[in-house]
Amino acid sequence: MTQSELEFVVEHRRHLHQNPELSFQEFETTAHIVDFLETLGVSYNRPLETGAIAYLEGNSEHTIAYRADIDALPIHEENEIEFKSSKDNVMHACGHDGHTTALLLFVKRCKLLADKGELPHNVVFIFQPAEETGGGANHLIKAGAFDQFPIEAVFGIHVMPFNDEGTVTILNEEITASATEYRFFLEGQSSHVANKEQGLSCGEGLQHVLNQVSTIQQYHLNGLQHNIVHIGRFEAGEAINTVPSHGYLEGTIRTYDTEDLQVVKDQMTKIAQSVQLLFGVNCEVKFEEGYPPTYNDPKLHDQVVNALHEADFKVVELDKPYLFGEDFSFYSQIAPSYFAFVGIRNEEKDWVHGLHTPKLNFDESQLIHIADYYENLLFQYGQEG
């Protein structure tokens, strides 16, 4: 770790942190990245309005890709720091400013190697918009952003404040869950409370939906499997003295087993049908597929472990996947991929706050180790198997 690289990551991370932007609105962030690429003389393209795909040619036919997400969250920062977010209710509360900075440093290293004729392989650098909402990875793929690159593997990381600095957690196959949203829409018939028997109450129907959805995990899924069937918001009714004629409920399903996901969806469909039968209230459930599970290809495992060890990380193998969604999952559609979680927890400095919280913070020096990991992967790629 050199002083110049430490100054580099501090400067770029703090600039990005102070100027956060929401999904698909990362125009200033993209300008910062593009200015950096142009200064270095690294070629890039912009398949979407925000984000960028950079490319450097190496000394082999192999092409590998690295991804960083660049968007922030609609959260008001509570850290009292010099580089606090300059925007109300927008904050890099998920560490994407760090992900982006680590990749910028890696781009700089790779350009120096390329200039000396020592870049071992072709490298694609993905500065991806809209990980938090909108599935920016999927948008890039559908836009043909990678059609010109014969990518053989894609690597990515995410900071993890629940794990100590110096540790990295990995898991072969599924490491994060699928994320599917569901919404129930109820339509009944209103009447005055004095003649309530003439109405078809969505309040009664919604109560039934609430009760039944709450029991799916208990009665219909394997108790040894980790799943979440979450009720996020619900409402019914129009006035204090009328029978509710409309009802609504929404939530999210998190699972890493596609069969479990199908069980949940089937049960919800049956629940919607039962509302009509029991209460005469029309009820429809709609699903919005979010992110699939993030799948780590076991063929890349040993390379990842060796590269992490050489970057002075302690590798921890998880027993079960994390139950949150991550749109890095889409990259397995274009090539084998591997995703790792880099610990940033430091109790002495009170950096213990979770992802998506208003006090997330971390030591920028960890970003240099991430760049080390990326560089180790680059030099080791193709040497095994």
Q: Which residues are annotated as a binding site for Mn(2+)?
A: 94, 96, 132, 158, 356
Residues 6+ apart with CB under 8 A from 350: none
Q: What is the 3-state secondary structure (H, E, C) of 73-93?
A: ECCCCCCCCCCCCCCCCCECC
Query: Alpha-carbon distance 42 to 56, whole Å?
Result: 7
Tokens of 132: 């938090």
Residues 6+ apart with CB under 8 A from 5: 105, 368, 371
Judged by DSSP in three states, 67 sits in: strand
> Which of 113, 138, 114, 112 has its CA nearest to residue 126?
138
Q: Which residues are annotated as a binding site?
A: 94, 96, 132, 158, 356
Q: How far is CA 261 from the centre of its chain?
A: 19
Residue 248: what are its φ and ψ, rounded to 5°? Answer: -155, 140
Judged by DSSP in three states, 355 sits in: coil
Q: How far is CA 206 from the centre of its chain?
A: 31
Distances from the Cα of 29 to the Cαs of 11, 23, 50, 52, 53, in angstroms?
14, 11, 8, 10, 14
Q: Where are the alpha helices (DSSP H) in the chain?
A: 3-18, 27-40, 96-115, 136-142, 202-214, 216-220, 258-279, 301-310, 365-380
Q: Are 139 and 128 in contact (CB under 8 A)?
A: no
Residue 127: what are its φ and ψ, rounded to 5°? Answer: -100, 95
